[in-house]
Amino acid sequence: MKGLSCDVCGQQILGRPLKVVIEGAIVITCLQCAKLGRTYVEPPSRRVGRHVPVAQYSSRSVRSVSRETLDELEVVEDFPIKIRKAREKIGLTQEDLARKVKEKLSIIQKVESGKIIPDLRLCRELEHSLRIVLLTPRAEIPSSTGLTAAPSLTLGDVAKVKRRDKNQ
C-alpha cells in the first residue's frame, strides 16, 4: 500500500503528514518540508457538505477524546434530517431530547436545522439516545493508481525557495 507523498519534495511521507501554508498555498508535507511554512489551522466551517468533519461547536468541550479519533471520524451528510426523523419516530420533543443528551435546547435546535455540526460527544449521545448512526470513518483520499512510470511534478520542482541572508 502506497502512502501519501509530500507536495513539496515528492518523497513518501513516513509518519503523520502535516498541513502547512507555504506562500499562501495549503499543502501536505513531510516533517522536513513543514519547516518551510507555518502550520495550517483549519477555520471552523458552518456549511454542510457531503461529509463534514467532526467539529467542536457544542457548548461543552471535548477533553477525553484523542485528536486521532477526531481526525478519523466525520459526521454523515444528512445528520439534521436523521436526527429530526429519529426524534419524531420515538415521540420526543426537542426539549426532551436536549434533556436526555444533557445539552441546551438551542444547540439541539441549531443541530436539527443544520446551522452547526455536533461535536463528537454530542454525536455519541445522539446515536445512543436515538439509535442512529451519525459518525462514519473518514474516507481516504484516493492516491494515484501508479500507472505512470515518471514521478509526478511537485511544488518543490517549480517553486523557488527564498532564503534570508544571515547578515540582515
37 plus 72 within the same structural domain: no
Cα four-point dihedral sign 71, 82, 49, 3: positive
Residue 153 is assigned to a structural domain of this protein: no
Q: Nine-digit cell at 146?
A: 501508479
pLDDT digits (tens, 9 = 90+) for 57-84: 443 443 444 444 556 788 888 999 999 9
Domain holding 27, by residue range, is 1-41
pLDDT in the model for residue 84: 95
Residue 129 is assigned to a structural domain of this protein: yes
pLDDT in the model for residue 89: 94
62 plus 124 within the same structural domain: yes
34 plus 57 within the same structural domain: no
2 plus 26 within the same structural domain: yes
Average pLDDT over residues 112-117: 92
pLDDT digits (tens, 9 = 90+) for 141-152: 555 555 555 567
CATH number at residue 132: 1.10.260.40
70 plus 107 within the same structural domain: yes
36 plus 67 within the same structural domain: no
74 plus 109 within the same structural domain: yes
pLDDT confidence bin for 35, thresholds 50/70/90: confident
127 plus 87 within the same structural domain: yes
Q: Nine-digit cell at 5?
A: 507523498
**Domain total for the chain?**
2
What pTM did the predictor assign? 0.46
88 plus 22 within the same structural domain: no
18 plus 64 within the same structural domain: no
Residue 32 is assigned to a structural domain of this protein: yes
